[in-house]
Amino acid sequence: MTGRADRPPLTCDTGDPVCGAPARPYPAGPRCDRHRPRTYRPE
């Protein structure tokens, strides 16, 4: 059984070229704070 420590850290896969910043998981894929979906942003 593999744990979370065995996985590489998530990086943002948005942009052209790809952003690559540290990211969090969202339904649309891993996103950094700059590229996270608008519905998850504080007002």
pLDDT of residue 5: 72
The confidence score (pLDDT) of residue 2 equals 57
> Are the CB atoms for 38 and 28 separated by under 8 Å?
no
pTM of the entire predicted model: 0.67
CA dist 32 and 19 (Å) reads 8
CA-to-CA distance for 43 and 14, rounded, in angstroms? 22
**pLDDT tens-digit profile, the chain (43 residues):** 556 678 889 999 998 999 999 999 988 889 998 888 877 666 6
Q: Which two tokens stand for residue 28?
A: 């649309």
Domains of the chain by residue range:
9-34
Q: What is the pLDDT of residue 39?
A: 73
Q: Does residue 17 contact residue 37 with C-beta atoms inside 8 Å?
A: no
Residue written as tokens 């590489």? Answer: 8
Please give the sequence-ordered ranges of beta strands (E in DSSP) within 1-43, or none if there are none. Answer: none
